[in-house]
Amino acid sequence: MSPKRLEDMYDAVIVGAGAAGLSAALGLLRSPEVAELREQGLDPKILVVSKLQPLRSHTGSAEGGIAASLGNIESDDWHWHYYDTIKGGDWLVDQDAAKLLAEYAPETVINLERQGVAFSRTEDGHIAQRRFGGHTRDFGGEPVKRAAYAADRIGHQILHTLWQQCVAQGVEFAEEWYVTDLVLTEDGSQAAGIVAMDTHTGKIHAIHARNVLIATGGAGRLFHTTSNSWDLTGDGMALALASGLQLEDIEFVQFHPTGLAHTGILLSEAARAEGGILRNAEGEAFMERYAPEHKDLAARDVVSRSIMAEIDAGRGVADPKDPNGPKDCVWLDMTGIDPKRMAQALPQVVETIEQYANLDPAKDLIPIKPTAHYTMGGLPITTDGEVYRWDGTRRTVVDGLFAAGECSCVSVHGANRLGGNSLLDACLFGTRSGRTLAARIVENPAGSPMADDASDELLTAAVDQAADMRNQELDKLLQGSTAAGQSDHGEGDENAYALMARLGSIMERALAVRCSADTIGNALEQLNTSIRPAAEALHAHDKTAAFNQEVTAIWEVRHLIELAEAVLQASDARHESRGSMRRLDFPERDDEHFLAHSMVSADGTVTFKPVIITDYPPKKREY
């Protein structure tokens, strides 16, 4: 699908069609303000741009559930959810945002149900709920069933439902359009629009808009081993850096302990709950040493760190697919599980192992390693979804610029996210940002007699200029190629895919699960001496612009490089261990100096912003 009215000024352009982008579009269109506008015969002009067909967005991969204290199975209270979220985030959570998250979670889930999400049901017809790590009753007591689910495909259900609702509302989509630039006015105070390439034709478009919302998802592709889909290259975060904005708490990346080696695909915790055991090269069930009480079922970050400690101590194993490769895995031993029980309780795990590793979990040991799963940080936003700058003392909102979902940081996840809270974040804060947008649009709708033409001209000029520059760059990328399939740069030159793999390995060695000043310093050096020059020399091997996926891959790897630098700089500046981040050289949490959000810019400057604490002062960390 391509948009019809491109030459016009849009009221709002939304970049991203996952749970966050689609929730924002629906929040906007269903607001009372827009209903009133429509009664006056004015229809807001909204465009949703997505580099993928919307139903391929990563939201569709979420299996487990969405958290809400519905209390359908066991008694629950949103205050408990609120507390768990703060504690799970190791107290780096802004409590005003977490309060909204927990308080409005039940309403968010019920709204999803009313729109058509087919949740699993209890026998008496209520939405079914299951347990997820870290969700408790009575402020840290016994576990509670809080995650509403739809078999093992909650994300698929949510994504399809929201998309169908958008189609019903007549939302205009630009599908398989890749956004290359976020454009602000010259003084950086206001959003002006975006530049995007229609990948079907290879044509660059200037898209003018009074409001822009970034909902581009996470950045798992920073690491070689990730559970994220191929498209999660942190584009929105890199676009923000490139337009002079900061990223908040970007050093916090959650790793899931059991990713299938070399694919990163998640093997659910259920594999260990059913009796799977982690073993090192010597066959030792090493979790007994690190967590004598919970062993293989200790918290995710504890298991991930223990696996990396074994690998660092030389007790790792090589992936059987690459026997001479690095010994950077450990074994998951499921051979003790009764094969019948395995087929019944773990069908998805068994299928993944058979199809992607060609191994039989009833007989073979399975190579696994921690896999990059979720980006806690991102574009800093207010609880109404507005992107802001931090000058060391106060926030200044960028007019007309919004963000939502995994690419944003409203700071509900702090230093570590609780399972089930990210779909909730994307749907709830996505909807809220859509409503804020609606209120702005009503003040000054495009095409209305109130439209401010002089200011529109300024915005238009800024976007047109950015599009011209992007066009020139595209020409250069294509000129670097000769005939189809050939390169005039000699054989040694690198392609974007190989470079992405190299960057992923560097980041993995530097930051996966644990880091230190040395690992960060090494990575920064390699980034600047080897990766950046290689990225600058990239060119497409085919002259054709239409469907030239190598061109978008070049932009993606360049985005990843800018983001990698920011993540490394923010990690370097945090001299403590907190949540998902373990610094070997600063093993303790340091509330006196680092109970604060990092704010990093493209030039590597890191400043800190206080955490909003309203109800629950930090408690000591429990291991």
Q: What are the backbone dihedrals phi and psi of residue 41, each rounded to the nearest 5 degrees, phi first?
A: 85, 10
Residue 494 binding ligand FAD, by CB under 6 A: no
Cα distance between residue 417 and residue 415, in whole Å: 7
For ligand FAD, which is the closer residue by CB, 414 or 420?
Answer: 420
Report the run of H or E that residue 106 belongs to, with start and end.
Answer: helix 105-115
- For residues 110, 111, 117 and 122, what is the CA-based torsion angle, rounded to 10 degrees? 10
Residue 20 binding ligand FAD, by CB under 6 A: yes
Rounded to a whole number of angstroms, the minimum distance from the CB of residue 603 to ligand FAD is 22
> Which pair of structure tokens corresponds to residue 29?
């269109």
Q: What burial letters (b/e) apply to 228-246, b meaning 16+ CB within 10 Å?
A: bbebbbbbbbbbbbebebb
Rounded to a whole number of angstroms, the minimum distance from the CB of residue 133 to ligand FAD is 11
Residue 269 binding ligand FAD, by CB under 6 A: no
Rounded to a whole number of angstroms, the minimum distance from the CB of residue 286 to ligand FAD is 26
Rounded to a whole number of angstroms, the minimum distance from the CB of residue 371 to ligand FAD is 9
The total number of residues written for the chain in this structure: 623
Distance of CA 602 to the CA centre of its chain: 19
Report the run of H or E that residue 289 belongs to, with start and end.
Answer: helix 287-290
Q: Is 292 exposed, middle or buried (0-12, 13-18, 19+ CB in 10 A)?
A: exposed
Count of positions on this chain that bind ligand FAD (CB under 6 A) = 44
* Catalytically annotated residue among 300, 440, 578, 589: 300
For ligand FAD, which is the closer residue by CB, 37 or 162?
Answer: 162
Residue 392 to residues 22, 245, 385, 422, 606, Cα–Cα distance (Å): 33, 14, 21, 28, 10
For ligand FAD, which is the closer residue by CB, 250 or 317?
Answer: 250
Q: Map tokens 């199809």 to a residue.
A: 355
Please identify which residue in 173, 178, 286, 594 interacts with ligand FAD, judged by CB under 6 A. Answer: 178
Binding part of the chain for ligand FAD, among 103-111, 225-233, 574-582, 585-593 by CB under 6 A, reads 225-233
Residue 264 binding ligand FAD, by CB under 6 A: no
Residue 37 binding ligand FAD, by CB under 6 A: no
Rounded to a whole number of angstroms, the minimum distance from the CB of residue 265 to ligand FAD is 8
Residue 179 binding ligand FAD, by CB under 6 A: yes
Rounded to a whole number of angstroms, the minimum distance from the CB of residue 600 to ligand FAD is 20
Cα distance between residue 577 and residue 594, in whole Å: 10
Cα distance between residue 552 and residue 558, in whole Å: 10
For ligand FAD, which is the closer residue by CB, 92 or 232?
Answer: 232
Span 233-252, contacts to ligand FAD by CB under 6 A: 235
Determine contact, residues 622/293, Cβ cutoff 8 Å. no
Rounded to a whole number of angstroms, the minimum distance from the CB of residue 310 to ligand FAD is 24
Please identify which residue in 204, 215, 478, 513 interacts with ligand FAD, judged by CB under 6 A. Answer: 215
Cα distance between residue 441 and residue 445, in whole Å: 5
Please identify which residue in 16, 316, 378, 400 interacts with ligand FAD, judged by CB under 6 A. Answer: 16
Please identify which residue in 45, 51, 210, 432 interacts with ligand FAD, judged by CB under 6 A. Answer: 51
DSSP H helices, 291-397, are: 300-312, 339-345, 347-357
Please identify which residue in 198, 406, 494, 565 interacts with ligand FAD, judged by CB under 6 A. Answer: 406
Residue 65 binding ligand FAD, by CB under 6 A: yes
DSSP output for 111-137: HHHHHT----B-TTSSBPEEEEEEEES
Residue 217 binding ligand FAD, by CB under 6 A: yes
Residue 19 binding ligand FAD, by CB under 6 A: yes
Cα distance between residue 617 and residue 83, in whole Å: 11
Binding part of the chain for ligand FAD, among 224-232, 321-329, 502-510, 513-521 by CB under 6 A, reads 224-232
For ligand FAD, which is the closer residue by CB, 52 or 474?
Answer: 52
Interface mask (CB under 6 A) for ligand FAD, residues 350-389, using x and -? ------------------------x---------------
Q: Map tokens 């996926």 to a residue.
A: 549
Would residue 582 show up in a list of annotated catalytic residues for this protein? Answer: no
Cα distance between residue 336 and residue 272, in whole Å: 11
For ligand FAD, which is the closer residue by CB, 316 or 420?
Answer: 420
Residue 49 binding ligand FAD, by CB under 6 A: yes
Span 416-435, contacts to ligand FAD by CB under 6 A: 419-423, 426
Report the run of H or E that residue 608 belongs to, with start and end.
Answer: strand 606-610
Residue 260 binding ligand FAD, by CB under 6 A: no
Cα distance between residue 580 and residue 299, in whole Å: 11
Span 123-162, contacts to ligand FAD by CB under 6 A: 154-155
Determine contact, residues 300/227, Cβ cutoff 8 Å. no
Binding part of the chain for ligand FAD, among 63-71, 276-284, 347-355, 451-459 by CB under 6 A, reads 63-71
Q: At residue 112, what is the residue type?
A: L
For ligand FAD, which is the closer residue by CB, 147 or 342?
Answer: 147
Residue 50 binding ligand FAD, by CB under 6 A: yes
Q: Is 605 exposed, middle or buried (0-12, 13-18, 19+ CB in 10 A)?
A: exposed
Q: What are the backbone dihedrals phi and psi of residue 316, each rounded to the nearest 5 degrees, phi first?
A: -85, 170
Q: What is the DSSP letter of 173?
A: E
Rounded to a whole number of angstroms, the minimum distance from the CB of residue 452 to ligand FAD is 28
Hey, which residues are catalytic here? 300
Q: Which residues contribute to the site for ligand FAD (CB under 6 A)? A: 15-21, 49-52, 54, 57-59, 61-66, 154-155, 178-179, 215-218, 227-228, 231-232, 235, 266, 374, 405-406, 419-423, 426
